[in-house]
Amino acid sequence: MKNQEIAKLLFDIAEMLELQNIPFKPRAYQRAARTIESLSENIEDIWKRGAILELPGIGESIAEKIVEYITTGKIKYYFDLKKKMPMDVEQLGKVPGLGPKRIKLLYDKLNVKTLADLKKAAQDHKIQRVASLGHKVEESILNGISFAQQQKGRALLGYVIPQVEELRQKLQAHPSVKKIEIAGSYRRKKETIGDIDVLIVSSQPQKVMDFFVQMNDVARVLAHGTSKSSVLLNNGMQVDVRVVKENEFGSALQYFTGNKEHNVELRKLALKKGLTLSEYGLFTLKDKKWVAGKTEEDIYKKLGVDIMPPEMRENMGEIDAGKRHTLPNLLDYGSCLGDFQVHTEWSDGQDTIEAMARAAEKLGRKFLVITDHVGQVGITNPLNEKKLEQQSKEISRVQKKVDIRIFHGAEVDILKDGRLALGKLWQKKLDVVLASVHLATKMDSVAMTKRICVALENNRVHILGHPTGRLLNRRDSYALDFGTLFDKVKKTETRLDIDCHPERMDLSSVHIKAAKEFGCRFAISTDSHSASELRNLHLGEALARRGWLEKKDVLNMYSVKEVETILGKK
C-alpha cells in the first residue's frame, strides 16, 4: 500500500513550494496529501478503477504525479524541487519559531542546511546579524533546537486524560475563571494529542494568564498575551490557553475544537451565505453585524448545518451530512454493556479471573469475555488445551460467585497460512474465538490480506483482534488491502475488534468509518492485562463515535441474551 508514501511526498512538495514563497499551490498539495493519508482503500486500486480524479482536492496535475509514483516509483517534480532545496526542512521546521520563510533566509544568508548548521550559526551569533532577525530570535532558536531533537511524537489519549483533568482543576480553582473547557483534539477524542487547548471565560484575562504561565509545572513560556498564552510543561506537553468573553464562548469553543479542515470548510460555507466566521462569532460580511456565537448550536444552526458531536469534526463528510440532515445517531458514552478482550494471570495478565470479574461487575458491566492467549508467542505465556480445560472449570467456579456473565474465550494466534493455533475441538468449545496476528507481521500486503481472509473464513472465528496491529508512535499497521479485508469481514459476518488499549486504539477511527461503509460490524475490547485497565472502555466508545458508529453496529451494546444468541450462531 503506497498511500502513506505518496501522502508524505505530497506534503514534502507542499513544504518546498512554501519555501519558494509560492502562494496557494502548497495548500492544494497539502489538501491532496491529507485526502490520500486518510484513505482506507489502496490508492492503486482506486487508480485501477479510474477514480483518482473523484478524490477531493486531486485534479489533473496531482493525479498525474500519483500515477507516476504508482507506475515508476518516483515523482520527477519532487526530485527537481529537492535539487533546489538542499536543506533538511522536516527537521528545521520542528524548531519553534522557524517557518518556511526563515528557513529559506537562513539558507540563503548562512548556508544553514541541518539542525547542526543551525546550532553552530546560533552559537557563533551569526543569526542576529541577519537583517530582520535579532538576538531574541537567535536565543529562541538556540533554545528550540534541543526541543526539535527530542520531539517524540504525540501523547496518547488514554495516558493524557488524567494529566489534563488535573490541569483543568487547577485552572478552574482560580477565582477569576468563570467557565473552562478543554477544546482541540482532546475534545474530539483523537487517538493521539498534539497539545492541549484550554478555553476560559473570565472578565480578568490578565490575572488568569499571569496565573497560568506561573504554574509550577511550567517549563517554558512560549507566548504570554491577554487573550492567548502558550507554555511547555515539564512533561513536554504544550498547553495553549485562550480567554474569551461570555458571549464569544460558543464561537471560540467551535473554533478551538476544530479540526482545522472542518473549520476551513465551515468558514467557506459562511462566506457563501454572506457571513464571516471567526472565534469571536458569526457576523454579516457587509456591516459585521453579530449573528451568533454564544453557543456552538447557534452557529451551526445559522449556517444550516445540524450540529454534530466534536468527535465527528474531522472534515470527513460530516458537514455535508449535517446539511442534508443525515448525521448518524452516535452511540453514547457508557452504553457498552461488556468487554470482549481481557487477559488474566492464566497467560500474560496480572490479575485472577475472579478479580477481573469482580472489577468489571463493579464498573457496571453485564458481561466479560476472558481471552487469554493461545498460540506460539512465548512471551504471552500461551495456554494449551489442557490449561483451557482447567480454566473452563475455574470460570464456572467464579461464575457462581458474581453477578456478571463470564464468557470463556481465547485470543488465538493466526498462523502464517491463516489457520488457527488451536484444534477444532476447542475452537467449538469456546464461547468466543478472538483471532489475532502476533507473529510473522512483516508479510507483504497480498500475503497478509490472504492470511487473514483465510482465518475469517473459519466459521468459529467471532472477532478479528486488533486488526491492523499498529502500536501508536512505535509500529505501523501490517501491510493490508483494507477493501478486500472489510469485504471478507462483512461476508463472513465476523466482527472487527476495536481494541482500545491506549497504545493500540486499533482499529483507527478512519478505518472504522471505512469498514462501516462496507457494512462491517464491530466489538469493543479493552485488551486489559490488569483490573485497573478495564475502565478504558470509554476510549473504545470514543473511537466508535469518531468512526460514526451507532448502537446497532457494536456488539457490546446488545444484552447478554442477544450476545449469547449471536455468538451461538457461529
Other C-beta atoms lying within 10 Å of the C-beta of residue 320: 13
Question: Closest CB to DNA among 25 and 82?
Answer: 25
How many residues would you count in the chain? 570
How many angstroms separate the Cα of 78 from the Cα of each of 261, 425, 532?
25, 57, 49
Specify whether the CB–CB gap between 516 and 312 falls below 8 A: no
Would you count residue 208 as binding DNA (CB under 7 A)? no
Would you count residue 497 as binding DNA (CB under 7 A)? no
Task: Say how far apart CA 348 and CA 355 lie, in whole Å.
Answer: 15
Size of residue set near DNA by CB under 7 A: 62
**Do strands 367-374 and 338-342 pair parallel, antiparallel, or not at all (unpaired)?**
parallel
Stretch that binds DNA, among 24-32, 294-302, 342-350, 511-519 (CB under 7 A): 24-32
Question: Closest CB to DNA among 148 and 479?
Answer: 148
Q: Residue 183 carries which DSSP code?
A: -
Report CA dihedral (89, 192, 447, 554) to the nearest 10 degrees: -150
The correct pick among 272, 286, 325, 561 for binding DNA (CB under 7 A) is 272
Stretch that binds DNA, among 23-31, 330-338, 362-370, 435-443 (CB under 7 A): 23-31
Question: Closest CB to DNA among 18 and 541?
Answer: 18
Question: Closest CB to DNA among 229 and 344?
Answer: 229
Question: Closest CB to DNA among 95 and 303?
Answer: 95
Other C-beta atoms lying within 10 Å of the C-beta of residue 461: 23
Specify whether the CB–CB gap between 177 and 194 falls below 8 A: no
Stretch that binds DNA, among 36-44, 95-103, 368-376, 547-555 (CB under 7 A): 95-103
Would you count residue 226 as binding DNA (CB under 7 A)? yes
Would you count residue 51 as binding DNA (CB under 7 A)? no
Record the cell numbers describing residue 407, joined without a space. 464468557
The correct pick among 76, 120, 179, 268 for binding DNA (CB under 7 A) is 268
Would you count residue 125 as binding DNA (CB under 7 A)? no
Number of H helices, E strands in the chain: 24, 17
Would you count residue 310 as binding DNA (CB under 7 A)? no
Would you count residue 126 as binding DNA (CB under 7 A)? no
Short-list 553, 528, 552, CA closest to 539: 528
Minimal distance, residue 62 CB to DNA, in Å: 3
Question: Closest CB to DNA among 137 and 355?
Answer: 137
Would you count residue 135 as binding DNA (CB under 7 A)? yes
Would you count residue 103 as binding DNA (CB under 7 A)? yes
- Per-residue DSSP letters for 23-52? -SHHHHHHHHHHHHHT-SS-HHHHHHTT-G
| Strand (E) or helix (H) holding 251 | helix 249-257
SS3 569: coil
SS3 161: helix
* Residue type for position 194: G
Tracing cell 552559537 back to the chain, one arrives at 123
Would you count residue 12 as binding DNA (CB under 7 A)? no
**Do strands 238-244 and 195-201 pair parallel, antiparallel, or not at all (unpaired)?**
parallel
Stretch that binds DNA, among 89-97, 381-389, 474-482, 493-501 (CB under 7 A): 89-97
Q: Residue 334 carries which DSSP code?
A: T
Would you count residue 317 as binding DNA (CB under 7 A)? no
Would you count residue 56 as binding DNA (CB under 7 A)? yes
Other C-beta atoms lying within 10 Å of the C-beta of residue 165: 11
Would you count residue 423 as binding DNA (CB under 7 A)? no
Task: Say how far apart CA 164 and CA 167 lie, in whole Å.
Answer: 5
Would you count residue 25 as binding DNA (CB under 7 A)? yes
Question: Closest CB to DNA among 129 and 168?
Answer: 129
Minimal distance, residue 59 CB to DNA, in Å: 3
Minimal distance, residue 66 CB to DNA, in Å: 9
Give the x/- contact pattern for DNA in 321-360, rule: CB under 7 A: ----------------------------------------
Would you count residue 304 as binding DNA (CB under 7 A)? no
Stretch that binds DNA, among 100-108, 109-117, 366-374, 485-493 (CB under 7 A): 100-108
* Residue type for position 123: Q
Give the x/- contact pattern for DNA in 139-168, rule: CB under 7 A: -x----------------------------
Stretch that binds DNA, among 269-277, 336-344, 424-432, 527-535 (CB under 7 A): 269-277
The correct pick among 12, 15, 44, 197 for binding DNA (CB under 7 A) is 197
Minimal distance, residue 272 CB to DNA, in Å: 5
Record the cell numbers describing residue 561, joined without a space. 441474551
- Per-residue DSSP letters for 8-19? HHHHHHHHHHHH
Stretch that binds DNA, among 262-270, 297-305, 330-338, 546-554 (CB under 7 A): 262-270
How many angstroms separate the Cα of 453 from the Cα of each of 108, 479, 494, 514?
55, 14, 11, 18
Would you count residue 445 as binding DNA (CB under 7 A)? no
The correct pick among 6, 9, 16, 28 for binding DNA (CB under 7 A) is 28
| Strand (E) or helix (H) holding 483 | helix 482-492
Record the cell numbers describing residue 301, joined without a space. 444552526
Binding site for DNA (CB under 7 A): 23-25, 27-29, 31-32, 56-63, 93, 95-103, 128, 131-138, 140, 184, 195, 197, 223-230, 238, 240, 260, 263-264, 267-268, 270-272, 276-280
